[in-house]
């Protein structure tokens, strides 16, 4: 399954970069967040591939969900897809946007792939193994290596959102003592923890499950964890939440070992 996710993420990434270089219009969704041709085309590529290979596994994808298209029933196993995580970075012509594909089983992100098309960084996670690799246009995947989250360094390296930093996040960081702040966009924050570049990622701001599932899967495979503020593992497949929309996450804290 990891190989399928990787191939689909690379194909989607190529489509994203083609649109990135030629430019495109930016539309606004109902929640005022931006969406582009790149989001839509990448999602179509990923969904077509997954539905052909795994026709019995439901898919929850960001742009379909925004249009009100959701599986009637998820069951215990389903896919979560964010075809272009970091659309604001993409629109601003930054380079931190990613393609995210994850398999959730029993509420746990079990398999995940995160691909950053600009840098060619590819991360994958499955039970017991997390990997990072480089992707070169002419050679494909190269330099694949196992990664493991680290025990906390001193001072801590704290990952903070580039586009969604909140006062609550800053207040929490202040409680950690001396710390190095690393700002980066999209699901790459989880990947920095997974490859032992950073130690903690506090998120006191709204996210959706498709934003986090793939990176969370990579982090957990590398020995890290993602928990809600009460210490419980962050779960997936949250529907009929009286206080928020389907698939919305609570605040969470992701950590290395």
Which residues does the annotation place in the binding site for substrate? 62, 84-87, 211
| Residue 29 CB neighbour total at 10 angstroms | 14
Could you list the residues known to form a binding site for Mg(2+), using ranges. 62, 82, 84-85, 211
Cα 4 vs. chain centroid, distance in angstroms?
Answer: 17
Could you list the residues known to form a binding site, using ranges. 62, 82, 84-87, 211
Residue 226 has φ and ψ, to the nearest 5°, of -135, 125
User: Distance between CA 86 and CA 16 in Å, rounded?
Assistant: 12
User: Distance between CA 205 and CA 248 in Å, rounded?
Assistant: 11
Length of the chain: 257
Q: Which neighbouring-strand residues pair with 61?
A: 81
User: Distance between CA 31 and CA 162 in Å, rounded?
Assistant: 20
């Amino acid at each position: 399954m990891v190989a399928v996710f990787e191939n689909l993420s690379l194909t989607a990434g190529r489509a994203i970069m083609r649109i990135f270089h030629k430019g495109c219009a930016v539309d606004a969704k109902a929640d005022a967040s931006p969406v582009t041709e790149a989001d839509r085309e990448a999602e179509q590529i990923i969904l077509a591939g997954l539905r052909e290979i795994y026709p019995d596994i439901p898919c929850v994808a960001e742009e379909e969900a925004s249009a009100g298209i959701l599986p009637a029933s998820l069951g215990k196993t389903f896919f979560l897809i964010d075809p272009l995580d970091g659309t604001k970075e993409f629109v601003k012509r930054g380079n931190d946007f990613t393609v995210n594909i994850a398999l959730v089983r029993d509420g746990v992100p079990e398999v995940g792939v995160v691909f950053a098309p600009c840098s060619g960084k590819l991360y994958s996670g499955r039970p017991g193994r997390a990997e990072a690799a480089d992707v070169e246009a002419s050679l494909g995947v190269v330099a694949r290596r196992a990664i493991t989250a680290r025990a906390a360094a001193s001072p801590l390296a704290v990952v903070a959102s580039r586009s969604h930093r909140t006062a609550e996040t800053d207040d929490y960081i202040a409680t950690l003592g001396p710390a190095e702040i690393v700002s980066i966009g999209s699901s790459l924050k989880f990947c920095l923890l997974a490859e032992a570049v950073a130690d903690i990622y506090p998120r006191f701001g709204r996210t959706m499950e498709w934003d986090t599932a793939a990176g969370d899967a990579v982090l957990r495979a590398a020995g890290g964890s993602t928990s809600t503020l009460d210490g419980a593992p962050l779960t997936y497949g949250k529907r009929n939440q009286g206080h928020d929309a389907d698939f919305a996450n609570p605040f969470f804290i992701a950590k290395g070992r």
